[in-house]
Structure 1
Amino acid sequence: MDPAVEWRVHGVSVEGYRHRRSGTPCQDAWLSREFGPPEAPVTVLAVADGAGSRSRSDEGSALAVRLAAAGFARRAAERPRTAAGVRSALREAFLDVRDEFLRRTGPDAKEFATTLTVVVLAPDWIGHLSVGDGFVVLRAGTVDGVPQFHLLPQPDAASEYSNETVFLTSAEAERSVRTACVRDPGVDGVLLSTDGLAQLALSWADGRPQQPKPSFVAAMLRSLDSPGEDPEEDERALAVLLRSDQLTAVNADDKTLLRAVRR
């Protein structure tokens, strides 16, 4: 990858229909952080989805992305060079984040339960770590002029026979976490989301996501490739879309969309 590459980043979280109706705060959160020298910047992207059944999950998701932005930046600053080194750094960052999350939330940690999905955009690699049901899609290359999209591997379920979501606070979180290292200079777009957009962005079979839906992902990244003159208006328009009846009919949960495209 080009060490000098810069990324345009935009994220938005909106409360789902059920939460709007009940006045419940949005339990999703996102955060991005750029650090390092201008000639070799690193960007950390994080999204989190608080457990709807837990009383303080909105606080948990916000805490998780804050800790992730700092913790993964710290590990990425060590500049791992090999794929194995990247995956090891990602796992160490996850353990750092999880330990600090549990320390801060104390005996009530389960009330802060949240998923966590992180992408690290480094000069010569892209790292991915996820626990729970968030997902990441990369845009890389074209075939006959058509952009190609790739779904990164998702974490395992709580068990082979369970659809239960694993959270940062779950006992099985450490063994369920999934990491990946991508070395492809053709990657020019990244989309992270919580499960509120999974039915819209991904195709499914046997209860598992199989691949991205090109039309949806392409539209979401294309609008960031060519943003309007008024960023605030672009954000309002995206929030309106995510709250629309059309999308709510597919999934009424909170929705988060975090995107990054090469400038």
Structure 2
Amino acid sequence: MITAGAAVQGTAHLAGGQGCQDAFKAVGLGGTAVLAVADGAGSRERSALGSHIAVNTACRVLAEGIPRAEDAPQVWTGWIAAAGARVVEDHLRTVEGVLSAVPAPGGPVRADALACTLAAAVLRPPWVAFLSVGDCFGTVLTRGPAGAGAVGAGARVRERCHLVLPPPVPGAAETVFLSSPGAALRLRSFVLWEPMLSGVVLATDGCASLTLDHPSVRELPPETGPLPSERFFCGLAATLRANGGDAEPLRALLSGPGAARTGDDLTVVCALTDGR
């Protein structure tokens, strides 16, 4: 399993003297990977700390008790739902513990000062389990024969990308943070079983314009919604497999001219099978 990630400070944050408020983490467990990405709220002064607590909490909780690849779907769905509720609970408990241990000159600091969103995933082929609070998004990769009749040892293999955890649509309700009241009730969790599964990629919402295509690019109607860019996701997967997981090309992508127009922090973390 190959894991890689990068976080780049947004141009607007750089211009305003504001540090990167995103965080990511990936943990390799042999043939399994646990990964998480968090996006700190730009209006909250300690959201960067909240993001780091979130990804550490998610990876710690999700690394425990992962079902087996041969377990039934209800085992996987029950496990990720329970784990998601625990992530929210443990995150808030940790945040409150940190705030109580560090007195603030101006008086008590509320937990929402560390507000952040979160997306996390567990990749254990053929399963991938997701949980999400807020506006981060996720894509899965699959590898299979390039043509309908292409089978056998000499068949060409093509990788495809699928947006399975989309960002909110424009005009959606106010963003939910891990510290928001009722966050556990607003948490999304689900699992996918895919025999051709070859990877999963998580990203913060600042990456949307760089990594997602408008449906018109593929001559589809607007109501189709955003589509994952094969140029970005499949190209990134091929590069990381070729270089053994060196994240520098990913960092370069997030720092390039095409990314600068968002102004927001950009963070991507992924886990890929080795491609064999």
TM-score when normalising by structure 1: 0.83
The answer to whether the 8 Å contact 1:131/1:155 transfers is no
The answer to whether the 8 Å contact 2:210/2:258 transfers is no
- Structure 1 residues 88 and 115: alpha-carbon distance in aligned structure 2, compared to 1, 3 A threshold: same
Other structure's SS at 1:179 match: strand
The answer to whether the 8 Å contact 1:72/1:120 transfers is yes
- Say which one has the larger Rg: 2
The reply to whether residue 76 of structure 1 matches residue 99 of structure 2 is no
Taking the aligned partners of 1:151 and 1:238, their CA distance within structure 2 comes to 19
Other structure's SS at 1:115 match: strand
Matches within 5 A, 1:40-189: 41-76=31-66, 81-106=71-96, 108-142=110-144, 143-144=146-147, 146-154=158-166, 162-189=172-199
Taking the aligned partners of 2:254 and 2:26, their CA distance within structure 1 comes to 20
Cα drift, residue 73 of structure 1: 1.0
- Which sits farther off after the overlay, 90-99 or 173-182? 173-182
Other structure's SS at 1:226 match: helix
The reply to whether residue 11 of structure 1 matches residue 13 of structure 2 is no
The answer to whether the 8 Å contact 1:156/1:177 transfers is no
The reply to whether residue 254 of structure 1 matches residue 244 of structure 2 is no
Q: 2:252 aligns with which of 237, 240, 249?
A: 240
- Gap regions ≥5 residues in structure 2: 97-108, 148-156, 216-221
Cα drift, residue 173 of structure 1: 2.4
Cα drift, residue 212 of structure 1: 0.9
Taking the aligned partners of 1:102 and 1:84, their CA distance within structure 2 comes to 28
Taking the aligned partners of 2:265 and 2:241, their CA distance within structure 1 comes to 25
Taking the aligned partners of 1:195 and 1:113, their CA distance within structure 2 comes to 15
The equivalent of 1:214 in structure 2 is: 230
Q: How many residues align?
A: 246
Taking the aligned partners of 1:218 and 1:49, their CA distance within structure 2 comes to 24
Identity of aligned residues (%): 32
- Structure 1 residues 212 and 100: alpha-carbon distance in aligned structure 2, compared to 1, 3 A threshold: same
The answer to whether the 8 Å contact 2:23/2:55 transfers is yes
The equivalent of 1:227 in structure 2 is: 243
TM-score when normalising by structure 2: 0.79
Taking the aligned partners of 1:156 and 1:241, their CA distance within structure 2 comes to 23
Residues 100-119 of structure 1: CA deviation (Å, up to 9, x unaligned)? 22122226210111111111
- Gap regions ≥5 residues in structure 1: 1-6
Taking the aligned partners of 1:176 and 1:156, their CA distance within structure 2 comes to 13
Residues 27-76 of structure 1: CA deviation (Å, up to 9, x unaligned)? 111111233xx5xx432111110111111100000000000011111142
